[in-house]
Chain A
Amino acid sequence: MKCLLQIMMIWLSGICASFGQNTINLGLQLEPPNLDPTSGAAAAIDEVVYGNIFEGLVRINQKGEVVPGLALFWELSTDGRSYVFHLADGVKFHDGELFDAEDVRYSFNRARAAGSTNAKKYIFEPIVNIDVFDPLTVMITLNHARTDFLFNLGLGDAVIVNESSAANNAFNPIGTGPFKFDKWVRGNSINIVRNDNYWGGAPSLVSATFKIITDPLSAYTAMMAGDIDAFPNYPAPENLFLFNNDANFEVVIGLTAGETILATNNKKAPFDDILVRKAMAHAINRTELINGAMFGNAVPIGTHFAPDHPDYVDMTELYPHNLSKAREYLKDAGYQDGFTVSLKLPPPIYARRTGELIAYQLEKIGIHVEIENMEWAQWIDQVLRNRNFDLTIVSHVEPMDINIYANANYYFGYDNQEFQKIIADIDESSDPRLTSELYKKAQIKIAEDAVNGYLFQLGKYGVWKNNVRGMWDNYPIRSNDLRNVYFEGGN
């Protein structure tokens, strides 16, 4: 009898387990080239490892806020130059090695060393000193106060790695996060499993598999067939309404940090003339772009700033869609007969579709646009490196990246001392209120100068089964942090 009861118990627990799903399949459109977030700039790396495998001193949550990470709390000196971080105790890397302040020093020194392959080396440039007081206390001293330093430490490029495993992180990432790397079938899937010894309390998922689904066609069928539980950023906005109409799925349209712009070569005629740029700004019809290219799923922007940021200034009405005004500006600039330019488009679908529409819109004021579709490698070579372009469309997905306009050598070639001063002041400022004012000033300045065509903020199209909870709604940074993800009705 007792034996029978035991069998019953086992049988019942089996049933319970099958009710409570604790493994998740996620769809990923782009495969990361490798899994080391401290080398290279591919967003796909962070989409897998950030917050899951690797952690920094601080973490950025899905609202874009800085929250404690490996540093439980910190003190900032009154001059804003020195941070004292108090680290979590008993944290172990996935290979069992203990994490301590020396790892912080090693990670940051590695990132700022000569010959470092860190794509955001600038984060570490203000650092003058890293002092380890004891294994759990580290002080970082900067050359001057920087309000964005803490946020930057939360980026994937500033995660803490271990000296003994750092060299192999590209293919065997060892971090301190709630998930451990398990397996990578290249071209197919990446599997991570729960880190039962996670210092912050193990997550509820036992494992997660990122399936690489490059083609939007198979993205749809894989979702419909149930092969994928969640697509954090679904590749085809035109299909979202199909999922919306299906009670089995939840669609969450959020925002990314991606300002999609019609980047304009400011150093090249005729775009060196602000009248021409203003004419183009008036010719752009954002509503049509968003409806046509993004099927209504994007937020218009009038400057280079995330519209969900508290400091955002809405500049979309500065140059409203107005063809006669646009023609007037062109005439004033001496181009009443129009001109011909090229528009170089990188591969993402948003760029290709927006590009076709932009070409059509500019044609109306006599600017004849010749579209050139290209691969990323060609785009980086021609547009970004050699600045051999007239117009291009690209989404700048880095958070808080308005400072790129202060770099006169950046590809769109905006060289304005007034703006550079604003950014320099932001860098120097340690007063949050002043910083906020300066950010607003900066946004207004580039909008008025119509440096680039400001089109829309790229959306994040989350599609998942209706029992999935805890996925990120927004992409303040590219991360699919799974620590809070679980299945409703699960254990």
Chain B
Amino acid sequence: MKSLPLSLLVGSGLTLIFIIMAGLSFVWTPYDVTALNIDQKFLDPSLLHLLGTDHFGRDVLSMIMVGTRNAIAVSIIAVGIGMIIGVPLGLWVAGSRMNGGSFFDEILMRGNDLIFAFPSLLMAIMITAVFGPGVINAIIAIGIFNIPVFARMTRGAAMGLWSREYIMAARVCGKGMWRISYEHILPNILNLLIVQATIQFSIAIIAEASLSYVGLGTQPPMPSLGRMLNEAQTMIFFAPWLAYFPGGAIVTMVLGLNLMGDGIRDVLDPKLRQRKGQDVVA
């Protein structure tokens, strides 16, 4: 067996670290993140507080652990929404187009164009202006923009498969559109979906950070990486670690996910290798 690509090793290593940190935070953090202790504010990183403390005397490492957990949870659900709605939509319109109807396909593609045309951060801000800030609305705001990504991708890949011979054969056997989609098409595009999901996941992490940076994501006292950065802004002149560590955590986590995505792609489908990087644009 050929050795695994470096990007996959490094990427999954980094991702694993964050998953462990996030998982650990359910049962243990060095300090309680909701306990405020003003006497302990702005402590430099030390053995007692590995990453220092913030303006309320909270332990930054503990906050990053819980913040990571929240970011991962939000991203998984948001990307999940995108896949659960987007993939069937894509399969459906591809199937119906291949079976003669292009009406729904037109509608879907126009809908896609429409969503893509809206500036995403602005829309997220609008959504929270309507429903109020909070983690659920952040998930919705991020999730909505994931739907067209998956729908478009699934549709494209599925249409390519519909003209293959074995699908033709299945059609001749009288299998219905949904059955073919489920039995023959979905398994064949799974690789693509996994790679895309990894990329969308890393985009969602940054989106969550941006939203909570402007105060619209996870609400206090639950820590979030973006809000930590926002709160740190006026304190970086005397407590720069408050900006370094949460930001560093975001970067490392996203980097890990992207590397892992690239790695998976290389392993699953070497042909795709060349197109590396193109999907990161959205």
Direct A–B contact present (CB less than 8 angstroms): yes
Interface of A toward B, CB cutoff 8 Å: 215-217, 220, 235-236, 238-239, 242, 288, 291-292, 347, 352-353, 355-357, 359-360, 363, 371-375, 377-378
Chain B residues 18-50 with CB under 8 Å of chain A are 34-36, 38, 41
**Is the beta-carbon distance between A371 and B221 smaller than 8 angstroms?**
yes
Q: Please state if A371 and B56 are interface contacts (CB–CB under 8 Å).
A: no
Given A238-B55, A356-B56 in contact, is the A220-B220 Cβ separation under 8 Å?
no
Report if A357-B234 is in contact (Cβ < 8 Å); known contacts: A292-B55, A373-B215. no
Determine if B132 and A374 form an interchain contact, defined as CB atoms under 8 angstroms apart: yes
Q: How far is the CB of B114 from chain A (nearest CB, A)?
A: 26
Q: Is the CB of A373 within 8 A of B36?
A: no
**In the complex, A41→B234 CA distance in Å?**
28
Contact between B36 and A292 (Cβ–Cβ < 8 Å)?
yes
- The listed residue (A220, A291, A371) touching B234 by CB distance below 8 A is A220
Q: Which chain B residues border A217 with CB–CB below 8 Å?
A: 233-234, 236
Distance in angstroms between the alpha carbons of A377 and B125 in the assembled complex: 14
Contact of B219 among A238, A363, A373 (CB under 8 A): A373
Name the CB-closest residue of A to B56: A292
Number of B interface residues in the complex (CB < 8 A): 21
Residues from chain B with a CB closer than 8 A to the CB of A355 are 220
CB pair B220 A239 closer than 8 Å: no
Contacts of A377 in B (CB 8 A): 129
Contacts A371-B219, A375-B129: A242 and B237 contacting too (C-beta < 8 A)?
yes
CB distance B233 to A292 under 8 Å? no
Residues from chain A with Cβ under 8 Å of B56 in the complex: 292, 356-357
B235 at the interface (CB under 8 A from A): yes
Q: List A contacts of B38 (CB < 8 A).
A: 288, 291-292
Does B82 make an interface contact (CB < 8 A)? no
Contact of B133 among A235, A238, A374 (CB under 8 A): A374
- Report chain A residues within 8 Å CB of B41: 292
Main secondary structure of the interface of B (DSSP, over half): loop
Residue of B nearest to A287 (CB): B38
CB proximity of A379 to chain B, nearest CB, Å: 10
Min Cβ gap B252→A in Å is 24
**Contact pattern, B 196-239, Cβ under 8 Å of A = 1, otherwise 0:** 00000000000000000001000111000000000001111110
- A selection of 23 A-B contacts at a CB cut-off of 8 Å is A216-B234, A217-B233, A217-B234, A236-B234, A238-B55, A238-B234, A239-B237, A242-B238, A291-B38, A292-B36, A292-B56, A356-B220, A357-B36, A357-B56, A360-B35, A360-B36, A360-B221, A363-B34, A371-B221, A372-B133, A373-B133, A374-B133, A378-B129
Q: Which residues of chain A are near B233, meaning CB under 8 Å?
A: 215-217
The 10 closest A-B pairs by CB, nearest first: A236-B234, A292-B38, A216-B234, A360-B36, A217-B233, A291-B38, A371-B220, A356-B220, A288-B38, A238-B234
Q: Which of B134, B221, B236 contacts A359 (CB 8 A)?
A: B221
Closest residue of chain A to B55 (Cβ to Cβ) is: A238
Inter-chain CA distance A292–B36, complex, in Å, is 9
Contact of A372 among B34, B132, B221, B236 (CB under 8 A): B132
**Chain B, 126-140, contact with A by CB distance < 8 Å: what is the 0/1 string?**
000100111000000
- Closest A residue to B42 using CB positions: A238
Considering the chains assembled together, what is the distance between the CA atoms of A372 and B129 in angstroms? Answer: 13
A119 to B178, CA, bound (A): 63
How many whole Å from B41's CB to the nearest CB in chain A?
A: 8
Please indicate the chain A residues that have their CB under 8 angstroms from the CB of B238 in the complex: 242
Least CB distance from A437 to B in Å reads 39
- Chain B residues contacting A236 (CB-CB under 8 Å) are 234
Question: Which residues of A sit under 8 angstroms from B129, Cβ to Cβ?
Answer: 375, 377-378
| B126-174 contacts to A (CB < 8 Å) | 129, 132-134
Please judge, given known A-B contacts A356-B56, A360-B36, whether A373 and B237 are in contact too, CB under 8 Å. no
Cα distance, A372 to B137, chains bound together (Å): 13
> Would you call B132 and A378 a contact (CB within 8 A)?
yes
Q: Which residues of B lie under 8 Å from residue A347 when comparing CB positions?
A: 215
Interfacial chain A residues near B134, Cβ < 8 Å: 372
Check if A360 sits within 8 Å of B34, measured CB to CB.
yes
Q: How far is the CB of A294 from chain B (nearest CB, A)?
A: 11
Q: How far is the CB of A361 from chain B (nearest CB, A)?
A: 9
- Cβ contact within 8 Å between A372 and B219: yes
Nearest residue (CB) in B for A375 is B129
Question: CA–CA, A394 to B35, complex, Å?
Answer: 24
* Chain B neighbourhood of A373, CB < 8 A: 133, 215, 219-220
Instruction: Note all chain A residues with C-beta closer than 8 A to B234.
Output: 216-217, 220, 235-236, 238-239
Q: Mark B52-72, 1 if CB is under 8 A from A, else 0.
A: 000110000000000000000
Q: State A217–B237 Cα separation when bound (angstroms).
A: 9
Q: Which of B172-203 contact A (CB under 8 A)?
A: none
Which residue on chain B has the smallest CB distance to residue A239?
B234
Evaluate contact between B221 and A356: CB separation under 8 angstroms.
yes
